[in-house]
Amino acid sequence: MLDAKELKVVLTTLNKRRAWLLKSIEEQTLDATTLEDYQTTLKLLDSSVQKLARLTTSPGKTNPPKQTAPAKPSPTSAPRRAVRRQAVEMEDAYVLIAEDNHDSAQLLRGVLEDMGINRIEVVADGRAALYALQNCSPSYDLVLCDWDMPEMSGIDVHRNVKSLAKLRDTHFVMVTAISAASRIREAIQQGISDYLVKPIDIDVLEKKIKAALAGGEPPQEKEELLQVKIKQSEDNGAASGPRN
**What confidence tens digit (pLDDT) does each residue in 30-68 have?**
778 887 877 788 777 776 766 665 554 444 433 444 443
Is 80 a member of any domain? no
Q: Are residues 49 and 152 in the same domain?
A: no
Query: In terms of residue numbers, what domain contains 122?
Result: 90-240
- CB of 44 within 8 A of CB of 2? no
Confidence of residue 74 (pLDDT cuts 50, 70, 90): very low
Q: Which of 29-38, 83-92, 160-169, 232-241 has the highest mean predicted lDDT (pLDDT)?
A: 160-169
Is 63 a member of any domain? no
- pLDDT value at position 182? 82
Q: Are residues 9 and 104 in the same domain?
A: no
**What confidence tens digit (pLDDT) does each residue in 113-157 have?**
999 999 999 999 999 999 999 999 999 999 999 999 999 999 999
Q: Are residues 14 and 104 in the same domain?
A: no
pTM over 0.85, yes/no? no
Backbone phi, then psi, for 112, in 5-degree steps? -60, -45
Handedness of CA 109, 110, 111, 115 (dihedral sign): positive
pLDDT average, residue stretch 151-164: 93
The CATH number of residue 154's host domain is 3.40.50.2300
Cα 117 from Cα 92, distance rounded (Å): 7
